[in-house]
Amino acid sequence: PDGDAIAAAEARNGQLTKPPGALGRLEDLAIWMGGWQGTDKPHADAPQVLIFAGNHGVTAQGVSAFPAEVTAQMVLNFQAGGAAINQLSNLFGARMDVHALDLDRPTGDFTQGPAMDEAEFLMAFLAGWDAVDPGADVLVTGEMGIGNTTSAAAIAYSHYRGAAETWVGRGTGVDDAGVQNKTRVVEEAARLHAFPTGLEALRCLGGRELAAMAGAIARARTLRIPVILDGFICTAAAACLAAEHPGALDHCVAGHMSEEPGHAKLLQELGKEPLLRLGMRLGEGSGAALAIGVLKGAAACQSGMATFAEAGVSDG
């Protein structure tokens, strides 16, 4: 981030017509955005929402309440404008792009071997890297992929250990037996691959959509675009970047705390405090997209408010 821009944004914030600190976290967000965007007047006028979809060989283990065909069906729904993320993207004037990643060629079942070979992993990572619009001023990365909460749980468990069941939730709605089965799958997979971390975890235990989200988040950093992380799956992908390089997620804020129980633990490991807690657990980037409104509010106040001098208000 740009130290001069941060200093300028802090100075401006101190002159705006409000008691010091009275906008709470909006002030921190505005200064943080200003730092990445290189300005004391940050903006969230051109958000981009990137949705990546992938299919998972691990669905053979019966880890999801929905059939794998739903991934492709939901991609059509995204393209037709019928999903939750379409409504939220439209609401906040976001450009939304959907990338279906080799849906007819699921990743390998990672209880049997790596999810992707190195070429496959690189292709997926680059699909995300190349998908970022350099003209965007805020980025949301979301996903669709039946089976992918199991992938995210395996990645989180492989990085941070603890009891495997603490990383496993109901996903789209499995029952208690389903949760037990997911826990078995997560434990077997992490052990099979000798608890990989970083990009190797993403390759062995991830899905194409997770690799692509990581690629997009990494690319946003090079472009100095602030990123809003979505739920458990997006954050698991992002955690692989943080494992490679501390500070790799400094340009990221957590948009929403998912109901998927592993997400709270993951955010704690990453030191990220979510902007919203509304009990969502849909994926698609929907929690992060809702948080675009918060970033827009932070930017609007920082950039549009009058100073005490401009308004002729006594500053206490």
Q: Which residues are catalytic?
A: 284
- Do residues 43 and 295 lie in contact, with contact meaning Cβ atoms separated by under 8 Å? no
Q: Alpha-carbon distance 284 to 139, whole Å?
A: 13
Question: Minimum Å distance from CB 305 to a copy of itself?
Answer: 6
Question: Minimum Å distance from CB 75 to a copy of itself?
Answer: 10
17 scored as a contact of a copy of itself (CB under 8 A): yes
What tokens were used for 159?
A: 């990085």
Pairing mode of beta strands 95-100, 138-144: unpaired
Nearer to a copy of itself, 264 or 305 (CB): 305
Question: Scanning the structure block, which residue is given the tokens 């959907």?
Answer: 98
Question: Minimum Å distance from CB 70 to a copy of itself?
Answer: 5
Which one, of 27, 30, 32, 28, lies nearest residue 2 by Cα?
A: 32
Q: Which of 20, 113, 134, 162 touches a copy of itself by CB under 8 A?
A: 20
293 scored as a contact of a copy of itself (CB under 8 A): yes
- What stretches of the chain show up as alpha helix (H) in DSSP? 3-15, 25-37, 69-80, 84-91, 118-131, 148-160, 176-192, 198-205, 208-222, 232-244, 262-270, 286-304, 308-311
Q: Alpha-carbon distance 57 to 35, whole Å?
A: 41
26 scored as a contact of a copy of itself (CB under 8 A): yes
Q: Which of 14, 82, 134, 162 touches a copy of itself by CB under 8 A?
A: 82
In this structure, the number of other CB atoms found within 10 A of the CB of residue 234 comes to 34
Query: What's the Cα-to-Cα distance from 129 to each of 164, 218, 257, 269, 286, rounded to whole Å?
Result: 31, 7, 25, 25, 21
177 scored as a contact of a copy of itself (CB under 8 A): no
69 scored as a contact of a copy of itself (CB under 8 A): yes
Query: What's the Cα-to-Cα distance from 15 to each of 34, 228, 315, rounded to whole Å?
Result: 16, 28, 9
Binding letters toward a copy of itself, positions 220-259, x by CB under 8 A: ---------------------------------------x
| Number of residues this chain uses to bind a copy of itself (CB under 8 A) | 61
Binding letters toward a copy of itself, positions 267-286, x by CB under 8 A: --------xxxxxxxx---x
DSSP output for 211-222:
HHHHHHHHHHHH
Q: Which of 77, 111, 148, 150 touches a copy of itself by CB under 8 A?
A: 77
Contact region with a copy of itself (CB under 8 A), list: 16-24, 107-115, 131-139, 158-166:
16-24
Q: Which of 6, 60, 65, 264 touches a copy of itself by CB under 8 A?
A: 65
300 scored as a contact of a copy of itself (CB under 8 A): yes
86 scored as a contact of a copy of itself (CB under 8 A): yes
Question: Minimum Å distance from CB 21 to a copy of itself?
Answer: 8
Question: Minimum Å distance from CB 200 to a copy of itself?
Answer: 31
Question: Minimum Å distance from CB 304 to a copy of itself?
Answer: 4
What tokens were used for 87?
A: 């409504």
How many Å is the Cα radius of gyration of the chain?
20
Q: Which of 22, 119, 177, 194 touches a copy of itself by CB under 8 A?
A: 22
Query: What's the Cα-to-Cα distance from 51 to each of 30, 107, 141, 177, rounded to whole Å?
Result: 25, 18, 6, 30
Chain residues in the site for a copy of itself (CB under 8 A): 16-26, 65-67, 69-70, 73-74, 76-77, 80-84, 86-88, 90-92, 172-173, 259, 275-282, 286, 289-290, 293-294, 296-297, 300-301, 303-306, 310-314, 316
